[in-house]
Amino acid sequence: MTMTEIPGRASAVIIGAGIVGNSLVHHLAQLGWRDLVLVDKGPMPNPGGSTGHASNFIFPIEYSKMMFELTADSTAQYKDLGVFTESGGIEVARTQERMSELRRREVPEGRYTLVFVGYAPSDGSPPDGVSEIELTYNWDQAEPYQIGTGFGHLAVGVPDVAATVAAMRAEGVKVTREPGPVKFGTTVIAFVEDPDGYKMELIERN
């Protein structure tokens, strides 16, 4: 609410109605404080400070435990208030040595997109034998991914998938997907399982 007269007394006076001031009032009220006064030189509810120009993004990857806990707490609050929109994403680097998009493949039959990122040569030449991360965008993903479901598995490129699987099977490795072309494609792949039950993909590089 707004006031035209300054009250004679208050338990606390918070100056600045941006995100910090509003959050402070919110937490004090939750702790049982009453008679709180929040003041700002601009008109409420949009006084025109820096908060009004903020991008409203929340990144779950933070540089310290304290900032991560603050972000997690903010996310929970916005969800409780019904004003949180989860868009998702993945961060692969924060420096100038970040990964580059190497190639992209649209698969309309399977309704997903594959994006391969890695460290391309600085001279712009095509990468050869570099490690890659394969990102999958599922077009019809209705439910947001949770921690533990957003990451799929590791993959290793080998010159001959069938021969590699035969050698691993001879050593007692469990094969969960026999060598063969990937669905909606021609690349030969296979899946094996490590002693802890984690699956690893073998991709034939040619």
Q: Over 158-194, what HEC string results? A: ECCHHHHHHHHHHCCCEEEEEEEECCCCCCEEEEEEC
Q: Please indicate whether residue 184 or residue 99 has the higher confidence score (pLDDT).
A: 184
Sheet containing 132-138: give its strands across: 100-107, 112-118, 132-138
Distances (CA, A) of 181 to 11, 18, 37, 81: 70, 56, 67, 48
Measured CA to CA, the distance from residue 44 to residue 49 in angstroms comes to 11
Q: Whose CA is closest to 62, among 50, 49, 53, 74?
A: 74
Task: Check whether 2 has a pLDDT greater than 70.
Answer: no
Average pLDDT over every residue of 131-144:
83
Measured CA to CA, the distance from residue 66 to residue 52 in angstroms comes to 25
> What pLDDT, on a 0 to 100 scale, did the predictor assign at position 63?
66
Average pLDDT over every residue of 160-189:
93
Residues that are catalytic = 201
> pTM of this prediction?
0.41
Distances (CA, A) of 188 to 63, 124, 173, 191: 40, 28, 19, 11
Q: pLDDT tens, 79-108?
A: 888 988 877 666 666 565 667 788 899 999
Percent of the chain with pLDDT over 70: 80
